[in-house]
Amino acid sequence: MASKAKLRFKLAERDGPNCHICGGLMNFDRPRRKTGATVDHVIPRSQGGSNDISNLKLAHKRCNEARGDAPLGEIA
């Protein structure tokens, strides 16, 4: 798999620069901040999801952490 930065850039080109969970704009310069862009598995790996790019989307670090391995429809 490509470096994390390259993967985030590729996903942003494909899907745009917004978090797929909350819709807010992400910070690509500082991925470790709460508003930073992280790679999220649409179907979590713990539920059989793969690392294939078709199963990956961008999410804020805070949104990704809050979601954990919950299905998208069950995010609190």
Give the integer Cα–Cα distance in Å for 70 and 17.
23
Is the pLDDT at 6 greater than 60? The verdict is yes
pLDDT tens digits for range 11-57: 999 999 999 999 999 988 887 899 899 999 999 999 999 999 999 99
Q: What sign does the dihedral 50-53-56-60 (CA atoms) show?
A: positive
Which pLDDT value is given to residue 15? Answer: 96
* Model confidence, pTM: 0.85
Q: Are 68 and 53 a contacting pair, CB within 8 Å?
A: no
